[in-house]
Amino acid sequence: MSELDKFQALLDEEYTWPAPYLFKFIVPKTELETLESLVEGNQITEKPSKHGKYIAVSFTKLCNSSKEVLDMYAKVSAIPGILSL
């Protein structure tokens, strides 16, 4: 079983879909607009790093399945320098 399959199984054990899911990322300041465009329609909380080079971003999205959670992580993984928490 792959790590992705294990994560999906864990999500399915812990959540009853549909459910709100909290996403958290750290993104380079230069890529913030890219991330915002991918999560359009969700209220985003942003917190800059001490030196302003990175932004901690979090938002809650109502997801209909664990696959929807994994799809969001897959979308944002294309952003250079992003860290998923």
Q: In this structure, which amino acid lies at residue 14? A: E
Token duo for residue 65 = 């399945």
Predicted local confidence at residue 40, as pLDDT: 80
Total number of domains constituting the chain: 1
Measured CA to CA, the distance from residue 53 to residue 56 in angstroms comes to: 10
Interior/surface letters 18-44, b for 16+ CB within 10 angstroms, e for the rest? eeebebebebbeebbeebbeebeeeeb
Contact criterion met (CB below 8 Å) for 26 and 85: yes
Domain extent, residue 51, equals 3-84
- The mean pLDDT of 37-55, rounded to a whole number, is 91
Residue 25: which CATH number? Answer: 3.30.70.120
- Tens digit of each residue's pLDDT (9 = 90 or more) over 5-38: 999 999 999 999 999 999 999 999 999 999 999 8
Helix, strand, or coil (residue 17): coil
